């Protein structure tokens, strides 16, 4: 076999291994939540053709073994409180499996599975804040709700306008109908942006106490946010480290907003951007019909529940 052909096949296998965890997450979200494959692939940063190629493949013996290794590593990772790096993990996996496993393979599979040691993590130049409060992933990718104001997801995303100026949009989405409950566009990504978004949402509650899920951004891990959550007797949930797909519905909305509105125009001023976002979110809530809502818009679906 020519060297180039062998090289191409080797690169293809490495690519499949590297993105396997993302492929699986995309498959789960598409099947459970009817989210668009195109949008999920865009969020994950991969081509749809690569996902479909993985989906229709016949798993090799190596892929099957990799799945077993990842499964065992996840169990051990939790058991040792995330203290094992790839070296210790290699020692343990070589005792669990008959095949001799190379440390490079274990290192690669740990990256695929999002497993990393909390000890001796390499320093980064960017300043990192210490979370004041961390919540468990109570939502656990259960992205359906039986009634309004049962489960909320929230996040902040960035937009650019003018000459590389930045704006930040904070929003809360209801998983019952996908509607945007509240949103705030600001010049700074800070606590007040998130706190104001939460305040706008909670005044709309009528005795409900939603679960609210977010990533581990500094605003959501702050004591101030926790105090606000406790004051309205809400339950807090957070994504696991490095798992953006744990907040898939919010990521999905950002992708939809940017594809259907933001990327189609250029915005010279903050006011132009703000107006465009106001228009789109109103359209999304009242006039964008969705298959998973039986052809209704989010607010139409919500009205039927009422």
Q: Is the pLDDT of residue 5 over 60?
A: no
* Arithmetic mean of pLDDT, 181-191: 95
Residues 6+ apart with CB under 8 A from 129: 218
pLDDT confidence of 119, banded at 50, 70, 90? low
Cβ 150 vs Cβ 177: under 8 Å: no
CATH number for region 151-305 = 3.30.420.10
Give 220-260 pLDDT, tens digit per residue. 999 999 999 999 999 999 887 777 778 888 998 998 899 88
Confidence of residue 12 (pLDDT cuts 50, 70, 90): low
Nearest to 102 by CA among 74, 132, 65: 65
Is residue 84 over pLDDT 90? no
Two tokens at 182? 């509240």
- Type and span of the H or E element at 22: helix 3-33
- Structure tokens that stand for 169 in this block: 């949009």
pLDDT for res 187: 95
Q: What is the mean pLDDT of residues 11-20?
A: 56
pTM of the model: 0.60
**Average pLDDT over all residues of the chain:** 84
Which two structure tokens, joined as six digits, stand for 109? 């599979």
Burial of 218 (0-12, 13-18, 19+ CB in 10 A): middle
pLDDT by residue (tens digit) across 125-171? 444 556 667 788 889 888 889 999 999 999 999 999 998 899 999 99
Tokens found for residue 196? 């104001």
The pLDDT tens digits for 40-65 are 888 878 889 988 888 888 878 887 88
Listed in order, the ranges of the chain carrying CATH 3.30.420.10 are: 151-305
User: In a 10 Å sphere around its CB, with 0-12 CB exposed, 13-18 middle and 19+ buried, how is residue 11 labelled?
Assistant: exposed
Q: How far is CA 273 from CA 43, 167, 261, 270, 284, in A?
A: 22, 9, 10, 5, 16
Residue 290 DSSP symbol: B
Q: In what order do the strands lie in the sheet with 235-238?
A: 180-186, 165-174, 151-161, 211-214, 235-238
């Amino acid at each position: 076999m020519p060297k180039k052909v062998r090289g191409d096949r080797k690169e293809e296998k490495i690519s499949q291994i590297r993105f396997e965890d993302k492929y699986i997450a995309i498959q789960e979200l598409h099947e459970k939540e009817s989210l668009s494959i195109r949008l999920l692939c865009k969020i994950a940063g991969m081509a749809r053709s690569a996902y479909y190629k993985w989906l229709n493949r016949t798993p090799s013996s190596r892929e099957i073994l990799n799945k077993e290794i990842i499964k065992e590593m996840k169990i051990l990772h939790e058991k040792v409180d995330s203290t094992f790096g790839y070296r210790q993990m290699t020692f343990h996996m070589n005792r669990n499996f008959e095949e001799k496993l190379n440390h490079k393979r274990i290192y690669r599979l740990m990256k695929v599975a999002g497993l990393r040691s909390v000890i001796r993590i390499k320093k980064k130049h960017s300043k990192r804040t210490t979370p004041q409060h961390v919540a468990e992933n109570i939502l656990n990718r259960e992205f359906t709700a039986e009634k309004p104001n049962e489960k909320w997801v929230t996040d902040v995303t960035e937009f650019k306008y003018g000459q590389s100026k930045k704006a930040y949009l904070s929003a809360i989405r209801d998983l019952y109908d996908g509607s945007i409950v509240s949103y705030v566009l600001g010049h700074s990504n800070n606590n007040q942006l998130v706190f104001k978004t939460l305040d706008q949402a909670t005044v709309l509650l009528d005795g409900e106490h939603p679960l609210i899920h977010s990533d581990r951004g500094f605003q959501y891990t702050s004591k101030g946010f926790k105090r606000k959550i406790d004051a309205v007797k809400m339950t807090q949930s957070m994504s696991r480290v490095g798992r953006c797909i744990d907040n898939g519905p919010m990521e999905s909305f950002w992708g939809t907003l940017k594809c259907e509105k933001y990327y189609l125009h250029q915005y010279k001023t903050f006011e132009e951007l703000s107006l465009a976002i106001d228009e789109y979110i109103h359209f999304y809530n009242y006039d964008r019909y969705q298959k998973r809502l039986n052809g209704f818009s989010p607010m139409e679906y919500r009205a039927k529940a009422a």
